[in-house]
Amino acid sequence: MKRVALTTDAYRLTYVPRSTRDPVASSRVYVADSLAEQSDEQLRELSAQEADLGKLRWSQRGENADVDKLYDRLNRRIATVKRRMALDAVREIPGYVNVEGDFSRYAGCSCGCSPGVILDQEVHMMIDGRSHCVDLWLEAKSIDD
């Protein structure tokens, strides 16, 4: 599949055409963890606290109330920051100023391996002279950008 990237001062937004076999009637936006952490001090702090947990990171829910509270705060912050970033980026695309969406741990897969923001509409981009429904990846700019 052909990928098209748009680079701004803050990030790179990559459009990837959705498969014609995909029956979903909305686009998804995936925000890189590193970009989310770069943009939010509170998320950086919570991630640092998680990194400091050591072996407690692998405890089961309910074994340690403090660890559970930390993960609850971290997960809420991840959802808030990634949703805000995804919607801000998509709203910069002409014609999508009023787009809305919700963060989902299961945006790309039913196992939870690809969390993202499910938009309330399809995003269409012209690629090779044809309109394609696309999913979007929001990443930090690389040195080459």
pLDDT tens-digit series, residues 85-108: 999 999 988 899 999 999 999 988
* Full domain range(s) for residue 14: 4-139
Q: How far is CA 69 from CA 9, 15, 94, 115, in A?
A: 35, 36, 40, 21
Average pLDDT, the chain: 88
Share of residues in the chain with pLDDT > 90 (%): 62
Q: Is residue 144 part of a domain?
A: no
Q: What's the pLDDT tens digit per position in 119-133? A: 999 999 887 888 888
pLDDT band at residue 112, thresholds of 50, 70 and 90? confident
- Helix spans in 31-142 (H): 33-39, 41-51, 65-91
Do the domain assignments include residue 145?
A: no
- Please report whether residue 84 resides in a domain: yes
Total structural domains in the chain? 1
Q: How far apart are CA 63 and CA 77, in angstroms?
A: 22
